[in-house]
Amino acid sequence: MLLPVKICGITNEEDACMVADAGADYIGVIIDFPGSPRSITLQRACSILSSSKLPVVALISQMDKGQAKEILDRLQPCALQLIGKEAPALVNELKRETGCVIWKSLHFPVRGQGEVDLDSALRKVNSYVETGVDALVLDTFDRTGMRGGTGKVFDWGIGRELVRQIHGKVFLAGGITPHNVKQAIEEVRPYGIDLSSGVESSIGRKDAEKLHSLMSTVRALRTHYGS
């Protein structure tokens, strides 16, 4: 799969279908996370998954191992994405005990709102790589404490260096839109991209025109990506 695209924060079946028709590769559902306006219940997530044409990634935050296993058992997503401050040990335990595919989000300050020490960031990233995590998602946090879903970018220079030095799949997230996706991909050169608010008409509702615009740009980039 070249330059896979995940559209996150899906809250209803109609949007899941719209995203598939636009040509994306994954959808993401955020489960039982009060910190996100796009959070849905596990039951709602199961309904979306049952009708989805695309693989579904389940996003959870700060859940214990038992809760994570329940979601895996009931939803059976293609991957579990940990979006909180989960320790590498949890990734290791879930991989060992369930064999599930795990993505881990790592968050960086909004561009211009804080410095990032590259060496420290690399050590943190590698602590998850060593657990066997299947993909990393580089995302943004803002001054309100919101982690992901901010609609804001972090320092893409840091993103580029992390992608260059990490051995594994790295998705770029945080503030990606149809207008900046070309620049984001060319500057950072991630394995894939992950976005939500950049293709919405309102919080939790996707926009068909924005989705098709985004995917049109991505398809053009796929032609020569990696050259």
Q: What is the pLDDT of residue 149?
A: 56
Whole-structure pTM value: 0.94
Distance CA 202, CA 53 (A): 23
pLDDT tens for each residue of 91-103: 999 999 999 999 9
User: How many Å apart are CA 61 and CA 14, to the nearest integer?
Assistant: 25
pLDDT in tens, 169-203: 999 999 999 999 999 999 999 999 999 999 999 99
Rounded Cα distance between 140 and 197, Å, is: 13
Query: What pLDDT is attached to residue 147?
Result: 59
The CATH architecture that domain 5-222 belongs to is Alpha-Beta Barrel (3.20)
Q: Is the pLDDT of residue 8 over 90?
A: yes
> Which pLDDT score is estimated for 123?
93
Of 59-63, 110-114, 156-160, 214-218, the least confident: 110-114
Higher pLDDT among residues 137 and 167, named by residue: 137
Q: Does 44 score more than 70 pLDDT? A: yes
Residue 15: the pLDDT is 98
Q: Where are the domains of the chain?
A: 5-222
User: Which two tokens mark 132?
Assistant: 């066997």
160 and 206 in contact (C-beta within 8 Å)? no
**pLDDT for position 74:** 96
**Looking at residue 226, what is its pLDDT?**
57
Please give the share of the chain, as a percent, with pLDDT higher than 70. Answer: 93
